[in-house]
Each structure stands twice: as structure tokens, then as C-alpha cells.
A and B are shown apart, each in its own frame.
Chain A
Amino acid sequence: MKKRLIALLIASTMVVSLAACGQDDNPGSPSSGSGEDVQQSQASTPESVPDSTPEGSAPETPEAPAEISGFGEAPMLADLVGAGSLPAVEDRLPVADDVYVEQTDATGAPLEIGTYGGVINLLGAGGSWGLSRPVMESIIHFNSDGTYYPNVIKSFEHNDDYTVWTFDLREGMKWSDGDDFNADDITFWYYMCHLTNYDTKKSWPALKETVDGEDAWATLEKVDDYTVTWTFVNPKFPADFIENGDFKWCWAPSHYLLDMIPDSIYVENPYWEKTGLDDEQVLLNAQAKGIDAATVNDLGKAIAYYWWNEDGIPCLNSYVLSTKEGNNSRDAQLCILERNPYFWKVDAQGQQLPYCDEIHFNATSEDGQDQLMFRSGELDIIGVLMQDISSLLSDLGDQAQLRTFAGTDWGSYQITFNYTCAEANYAELFANSKFRQAMSICVDREQVSGLLSEGFLEPGQCAPAEGNFGYDAEWETKWTEYDVDGAKALLEECGLVMGSDGFYDFADGTDFILTIYTYTDSGADAAYPVLEQYYNKAGIKCATKDIEVSAFDTEIDNNNWYAVLGPHTPIGGVSLKSRVQPFVPIAQSAEWYGEYGTYYGTNGAQGVAPEGDMAKLVEIYEKWNATPDTAERDQYTLELYDVHKENLWTIAYLKAAGNYNLVSSKIKNHPDLLVWDDLYQYQNLVHYWTLFKTE
């Protein structure tokens, strides 16, 4: 079983890497011929968009393939149409040319034509994003190889100098309540929800720039009902705009939300006037719509940011939160998403998606209940740990299928150090790469693999995993050879001296104790005792402090720490375009750069100004940010990775873990070999609207 898993993992990473390597030469990898393929074939890596489209235009929306002569719909909707309570399917979809035809999954494999009906049973939705991840329809969609294509919008394009971006919308597209979706919903979102900071996300980098040293925001113009433009003063390159992982949507249902926008947040704009409502009135209006908020700030975040968690708010997703009392909250024991009768995607035969009637989120209160419920058929898809896969599969036989998501973290069991530690002797020691090398080679990774992952995770280093951009076999094995004596020699070269107690002290005779922070439930608290024995063997005296995550974050923010095992923001991710923060010290975010990040995050007002290689990372990032050229960007990314490889500010002991879904055999069209990353919205790559269920 273990071999099979490893084989799967390797296969998945190979597929991803092959796809990534081959896409420029063979952009039509998914398939070819139909309208949808036009869209997918023109989809390109973020880096290749400008090159492949000299005029700056990006892929057009797909046209319905010629063979689609009419549109089909779910029987439950046909009944409603028959009863006169719902318009005909043709009137619910965008105009025929703008209908989105879904023919391949996120890996490019062709989709099976499905049948309507049934319920997909999932585990409880959990956090704020739980209900959105499976069904979110965003501005663009990524394939698992990093290529992308316009999704909600029909197409996007930019002018030659990247200062004006144009979005074309799908004519006739409708909100889930049947109201028209058009450019007004975009101006409403931007001027009434976003620039007012009502959604608390005015900090989104995609729409923000710096002009004359000050923060400035794009100007949005409505050209016509189905066209808008975003205008910037400086060039706004794709990676910072359309590809930016945060910029998932730019619309809100003005017809539904307008009476919940108070005058107190209003900013002057050419499209929307003040609503004339005070704070209390909007809270009352919200309450009348079943939205409970204590303050206007809460309300703004609920309706303009986490809108999928409030029932009644129209959306463009395939499934909509039920309005039925008891099933209409993500905290409910059974939370239900219902089919959006106005969903704007169809399959290759013109059948309106989604196939299944509902998605059910079944809350559980303890680990393990999900497996019991999966076994008894109450759940259709569950996430499983590597260690549990073989026993589950052997028990369930052909009732279940395994689906793999490759991970993008740079190794697991990461340990990092406070390079801006307030105590100079510690800061100096951590800054010495020989110390980090000693911390790395003093651990027997083979043994650790057995002890912590039952041998499932192989020894590795803090480096991009195989299949990811920048993979480097040499880097992955750097400082991984187990050598206690070598580690001791390195510690002595760092100026530490062996004390009478068998542990190293600082040269001035003061005790050296490495206090390692972990946070509860990170898994690192369990790993610490294993690693501690190796550190002790090498003469490093250490202690651990396991604290609740919010207290842990406070300690990091206050620069009151020495080392962290299992950092809250681990280094890794699919690439710089997903999130920069894990790789470059530009915000108060990841532990490994601590106060250096605060320095950039606060424009130098707080924190510590970085020097040397730490500063070099920011310099390279700034160059990366200043060019739209794909090859150049890749070059800069590799340069940046080289700095990481050289320094290894964070050490990892094992390779990164993947994610695994156990899927009931009744569920069809669930792709395999996907990638688990924030940029792709994790399980969003499954495309739940294409799943169907057989009995």
C-alpha cells in the first residue's frame, strides 16, 4: 500500500510537472475541437498570457459547441418550469454564445456526461471558507497545472502597457435569484463594498498601487452593461492582478444588498449615491433578511466578504445556501447547499449543471466519526490521513476510490529560528548558517520518518517538492546526511563551547537553551519529543513551549521567541503568484523572517531593517513584480529560490505530505492527481458541479 501511495504521489507530481513543462508548446493539452477547448486551449500559464496574446487580449469565452442544439435541465427544475414558477432553461442561461460549456476536469481529462439527481454528502463545512471552497465560481479558474482561463467573466484583456484591464461579462447571465448579472454589480461591489472597506479587504493588492508614495486604487469604469475597465496609473501585471490569489470576485448583488449599505461608510463615486440609511437602519434591514450582526463592521464582512455563509444572498455559484431554517447555517448539524437554477454552465450535451440536487455538509464533533459515517454510506467524500488509507481501502474494497492532491509545502516538520531575536547572542548564533546546518544534520531523518509518519513521509529538506516549480534534487538533500559528530564540530565552529553538563554553552559561559515553540494541534507538539533526543545528543539543550495558537501568534508578533517547530505560516506554496508572504519578508506574516517582515509591512515604521541575503530577497521580489515577462519572472523566482537554498532559514526534516480524499464509488467525475494549494482554492479543483452520483 505504501508503495502504491508513493507511486501515486510521484505520478501526480510528474503529471503536474509534465503539464507545466509542456503547456507552452502544447497549449491544447486538455482536448481540442469544441468551443470549450477554444477557451481551455487558449488558457496559458499566468506568465505566458502576455506573450501569447500580443495585443494584450486574453482568451475569449467559449462558445457552445455546434452539436448543442438545445439545453437540458434537472427534472426538479423542469417540474418548476412546468408549474410556471421558473422560467424556461434557455431564459435562465446566458445567451447561447456566452454559455460556459464544461468538458474537461481540472487535470484536462474529459468529463463523463452525468445524470441528474442525488445528494453529495460531505463532512461539516468548518471554518469561514468551508461552504465556499467546493463551489466558489471566481473571476478565473486555474487548472491543476497552473494554467488558467476566464470563468465568471467571459474574457479579459489589457492594453499594451498594462494600465487598463477590460473585463467582458456574459450577456444574459443571472444571479441565483434570477436577477440580471451585469456591470452594475461590479461597480456596486467596488465602490460601495470594497473601496468603502465595508468588506474589510480594501488592502487587496490586486486593485491597489502606489502613486507618489501613497496608496492608490484602480479606477473602475462601466463601459456598457457587459463591459468594465480597471485603470491604473502604473502598469499592473497579471501576477499582481488577474492571477492574484486574493482577487477571486469583484461583484456583489446590488439589488439585494443595497438596503444594507449605510451612509456612514460611503465614499464619493460616479455610479452610486448614498442610500440615506443610518447604521441602525441597515442592521434592522439585515435582520429582516435573517442576517444577524452586532455592528455595521460585522454586517459588512458578512454580506460583502463571507457572503456565502448568509442564506438569501444571491450568488453565481453552482450551489446556493439553503434558506430553510435549521439547514441554512454552516454551524448547523446539517447544512445544505441547493442547486442554483440559474447556473450558467452546461455539460458537453447542453445539460445545465450541476448534476446533483444538493450538497450536504454533515457536522461531526470528533475525529473518526467521518470514517464511520463514510463506511455506513452517510458521507460520500472524506479527507483521510496517509496512515489510514491502506486499512480503509482494504476494508471498503471497491466501495471507495482514493483521490490524491499533491502538496506544495516545502517539506514537513519545519523548524525556524528568530533571526531578529532580542538577545544578541542568540540572534548571532541563528544567523550563522553553520548552526542551521548542525540543527539539520543532527537528526536521523530515516528514523524520524518511521517514528512520526510510519515511514510514509520520506526524508527531505525545506525545498520545493518534486513536480513543483523550482524543484532541485540537490537542494532537497542539502544538509540531510545524519552526522552527529559533524553537527558538534559545526556548533564549535559557531563559537559554542561544551559545558560540564554535556551541553553547549555560549563562549561567555552563559547557558544556551533553545526554547522551541509549538502551537496546540499543529502536530509539532507530538514531534518535539522525537526531535529533542537528537538535539540533546548533539549537545543542544532545548525546551519546548506548547501554546494555544492565538497566544502563539501574539508571542511571534511581540518578537518574544527563539525557535518554532511547525510554524503557523510554513514556507511553501505553488509559486510566488499564489502568495508572496511565505517566500519574501514583505509582511508581518511568516515566522522565519519575523521583524524583518514587520519592517517592510510597516514601511519601515517598525521592525528591523534586513541586510544581506534577507534584503536581497526583497530586491529580487521587487524586480519580479516589475516585469510582465514570464521567462524573466521565472528567472527571478529561481534566483529567489537560490537565496533560500543557500541560506535554508527554515529547516525541514521530511518531505511534504499530500492530501487524500476517499470518494465513494458512486461519485463520478472526481478527478485524481490534483494539487492542494490556496491559489487553487484547495478542493475547488474537484469542480463539484460536474460530479454526479450513480446508485
Chain B
Amino acid sequence: MEANAYKSENMHENIPKKTLLEAVKDFFKKDLVQYIVKRLLMFIPTLLLISVLVFFVIQLPPGDYVSAHIAALASEGEIVDADYAASLRADYGLDLPIHEQYFKWIKDIIWTPTDSTYYRLYGSHHNWKYSFAYGRDVWDVVDDRLGLTIAVTAIIMLFQYVVSLPIAVYASTHQYSVGDYISSVIGFLGAAIPNFILAIVLMYLSYKWTGNANVGLFSQEMLQNGIHLYNFGEFLKRMIIPIIVIGTSGTCGIIRSVRAQMLDEVGRQYTLTARAKGVPERTIVMKYCFRAAINPTVSGLGGVLSSLFSGSTVTAMVLNMQIQGPVLFKALQAQDMYLAGAIVMVQAVLVVIGILFSDIALAFLDPRIRYSGGGR
């Protein structure tokens, strides 16, 4: 028994130990830098292609902003003459052929010269154009909700990972236990119930139990005075429903996938070998199995940056949350193509960057992954 214990300790010590810094250094010594440069260069054609798609897809529905705008005015009882429509189209360049509109759009985003009116007005070389629906510079509209969107989504994501990963590990290491069943049931429910329905039910319950439906992220008081320490509790209270609604579906997905992967890993040869050699169970689970099991979850991180930017559109609308998703929705409805185009473009850029990050993270997690070809 003693010999065994000694052996186990010894074995464990024999595994070469590296500090985190060394690990990172070692990691980047490999062919990764070259890979990253290559990927960054690939960004340019990818994004150009995406921009073409975005611009043309947004233009697909019949009519344009001016016709949507005039229809909206007409429904408010205002009569608009044809001259006004024509002058609006000319002002915004909507009367130009579509390819010219595209080139002008992309050119101004990439570089607006110093001697342009736009630069003198906004002091920026990147003219994302004017949002018709909001009557403001596109980037101003996007910027308005950016901070809040990132904060809210980050809190929700943090919730997802903090809650789901321990549950998944517990469920996989205690397979068919009561805890496992409970987490499975919750997991299935969370994954199966559409977010918006859960949102409505929770708002109703909140109204029934507290007399307040907690619609929206902020109380009127916060919308006037901003968030401070004294009303932060109220803000957190209002975050409960969004966290539960948006967080649970993601949480459930992660629990299911990590649990399945973990079960897979726990039964592998290397786990058995490690266990046979007396490596402590905690080390086996956390250092080896878990690291391998979160591979698919990390692959999925590519979309995280993008969703941080846009938030969850449908749920945000049901919950009346002031994040980016509903702005995109409104922009698409009003055929506000520059605003919609800007949001979709930024999302696309973030997806591309996100995928790069997740690829790098995967290599860090799993040393078997290599980036240059050649079958090493």
C-alpha cells in the first residue's frame, strides 16, 4: 500500500512541470505565428466577400429606405409628394446603380479623406454613413448600445460557463446518480423551451408574485439617473429574468455536450492508465479529461464575440432589453441599409476574429492539434 502511494506520487512528479509562462512561450514558438499571419491576411478577401453579400442581401427586398420611410409617414397620416422622395433618393445616393452604391459605401468605411465634410463633422476617417431610421450617424447608433450589450451578454455568458461546467463535470463523474438525473431533466427542459416563451412565463410570474413584471433592464429611475451603487441591486434584480432566459438555453447545451464528452474521455485508455498509475482522480478529471472534453465548447467560442456584440434579438425584444439585437431588427424593417449593413458587417468581422481565437485556444488545449500541413 505504501509502495503504491510512493509510486503514485513519484509518477506524478515525473510528469514534466511547466509554468504557465513557459507553456505559453513554448506554444508560440511553434508554427502558430505564421499561421496567425496567414489567417489575418485571409481576413481581407473574406471580409470583402462578406461585405458584398451583406450589401446585396440587405438590398434584396423590394423598395428602399425612402419607400419604407414614405410608407411609414403615410401610415401616420402625412402625405409626401414624389419630389420629396426623389430628392431624398438623390441625397442618399439611392438613385445610383447598386454596384456604385456598394463601392461608395465600402470606400467611405475604409477611408474618408480629411478634406471631406464627414471628417470635419465627425472627426473620423471611417464613414459608416447615416442611419435613416434614427436620423443619426450610424456609428453613433451602434455605439449607443454597445457597452450595455457587451456587459449584459458577458454577464450572461459568465453565468452560463460558471454554472454549466461544474454541473457537467459532476454529472459525468456521478453518472446515473440523482444529481445527474436532475441536471439532465433541467438540461432537456432548458434546451427544449424556446427562450421567448420562458421569458413571457417568467415576466408573468414576476408580475404575479411581486406586482412588477420587470419589463426592461432598467427602472425609470435608472433611465433618468443612470446606474449607481444605490440602485445596482435593482439592476441585478432586473437581470435575473434575462440571465435565466438567455443563460439557461446556453447552459443546458453546454451541460449536455460537456457531459457526453466527459463520459467519453473518462472511459478512455489514457484515463485508465493514469488511474492505474495512481494519479489522483481530481487530477485525472480536471487536467486530462476535462481539458479534452471542452474542446467542442471552445470551438463554439467563435460565435461568442459576435453574440456579445448583438445580443439575443428575439429574447431581447420580448424582454424589452435595450441591446443591439432589436436595433438590427428595426433597421431591417425600415430598410435602413447602412445601419443594418454596419451591424451585420461588425458581426461578421467578430465571427472571423472569434474563430481565429477559438482555433488558437484549441491548440493550447490540445497539443495534438497542429497548424501547418505535412502530416507531422
Contacts and interface: CB of A to CB of B under 8 A. Distances in A.
B223 interface: yes
A203 B136 CA distance: 26
Contacts of A69: none
7 contacts: A127-B72, A283-B121, A294-B92, A297-B88, A364-B215, A550-B68, A554-B62
A587 B82 CA distance: 11
A292 B140 contact: yes
A569 B136 CA distance: 30
B135 A333 contact: no
Question: Which of A121, A324, A360, A554 has the most chain B CB within a 10 Å cutoff?
Answer: A554
A324 B226 CA distance: 11
Interface stretch (A224-232, A365-373, A654-662): A365-373
Interface in B49-85: 61-64, 67-68, 70-79, 81-82, 84
Contact of A293 (B64, B135, B213): B135
A581 B218 contact: no
A553 B216 contact: no
B161 to A, nearest CB: 28
A331 B77 CA distance: 20
Interface in B16-68: 61-64, 67-68
Contacts of B77: 129, 579, 678
Interface of B: 61-64, 67-68, 70-79, 81-82, 84, 87-88, 91-92, 117, 120-121, 129-130, 134-137, 140, 203-204, 207, 211-213, 215-216, 218, 220, 223-224, 226, 316-318, 320-322, 326, 335
List the 4 shortest-distance A-B pairs measured between CB atoms, nearest first: A294-B130, A550-B67, A334-B223, A550-B63
B91 A587 contact: no
Contact of A365 (B84, B316, B335): B316
A462 to B, nearest CB: 19
A550 B84 contact: no
A298 interface: yes
A375 interface: yes
A550 B121 contact: no
Contacts of A366: 317-318, 320
A326 interface: yes
Contacts of A331: 134
Given A128-B78, A294-B137, 10 more contacts: A129-B78, A297-B88, A334-B220, A334-B224, A548-B62, A551-B62, A551-B63, A568-B74, A579-B79, A589-B79
Contacts of A551: 61-63, 67
A305 to B, nearest CB: 10
Nearest to B316: A365
A87 B67 CA distance: 48
A14 B308 CA distance: 57
B218 A292 contact: no
Contact of A284 (B84, B120, B204): B120
Given A292-B137, A302-B135, A553-B74, A360 B61 contact: no
A548 B134 CA distance: 20
B84 A200 contact: yes
A326 to B, nearest CB: 7
A363 B82 CA distance: 32
Interface string A658-695: 00000000000000000000100000000000000000
Question: Which of A327, A336, A366, A568 has the most chain B CB within a 10 Å cutoff?
Answer: A366
Contacts of B215: 364, 369, 372-373, 378
A500 interface: no
A414 B318 CA distance: 32
Given A333-B322, A588-B82, A129 B140 contact: no
Contacts of B76: 127-129
Contacts of B335: 550
Contacts of A279: 117
A603 interface: no
Interface string A127-160: 1110000000000000000000000000000000
A208 to B, nearest CB: 12
Contacts of B68: 548-550
A334 B24 CA distance: 48
Interface string A529-557: 00000000000000000011111111000
Contact of A581 (B79, B92, B203): B79
A333 B218 contact: yes
A549 B213 contact: no
B220 A362 contact: yes
A365 B67 contact: no
B320 A128 contact: no
B74 A569 contact: yes
A287 interface: yes
B84 A553 contact: no
A373 B213 contact: yes
A280 interface: yes
B135 A298 contact: yes
Contact of A326 (B135, B213, B223): B223
A360 B223 CA distance: 11
A375 B207 contact: yes
Interface string A282-293: 011001000011
A298 B121 contact: no
A295 interface: yes
A591 to B, nearest CB: 12
Contacts of B207: 372, 375-376
A280 B117 contact: yes
A363 B224 CA distance: 14
Interface in A315-373: 324, 326-327, 331-334, 336, 360, 362-366, 369, 372-373
Nearest to B88: A297
A364 B320 contact: yes
B73 A568 contact: no
Nearest to A573: B77
A247 B361 CA distance: 65
A369 B320 contact: yes
Interface in A369-418: 369, 372-373, 375-376, 378
A362 B221 CA distance: 12
Contacts of A127: 72-73, 75-76
Nearest to A119: B220
A333 B75 CA distance: 23
A548 B211 contact: no
Given A283-B121, A369-B320, A549-B75, A297 B87 contact: yes
Question: Which of A129, A334, A375, A581 has the most chain B CB within a 10 Å cutoff?
Answer: A334
Nearest to A133: B76
Contacts of A579: 77, 79
Question: Which of B79, B92, B203 has the most chain A CB within a 10 Å cutoff?
Answer: B79
B232 to A, nearest CB: 18
Contact of B67 (A292, A293, A373, A554): A554
Contacts of A294: 91-92, 129-130, 137
Nearest to A679: B77
A362 B71 CA distance: 24
A365 B329 CA distance: 10
Contacts of B62: 547-548, 550-551, 554
Contacts of A548: 61-63, 68
Given A334-B220, A372-B215, A365 B318 contact: yes
B203 A372 contact: yes
Contacts of B140: 292
Contact of B71 (A121, A298, A365, A553): A553
Given A284-B121, A581-B79, A550 B87 contact: no
Given A298-B135, A365-B326, A324 B224 contact: yes
A553 B67 contact: yes
B213 A376 contact: yes
A657 to B, nearest CB: 16
Contacts of A280: 117, 120-121
Nearest to A551: B62
A336 B135 contact: no
A568 B71 contact: yes
Nearest to B217: A333
Contacts of B70: 550, 553
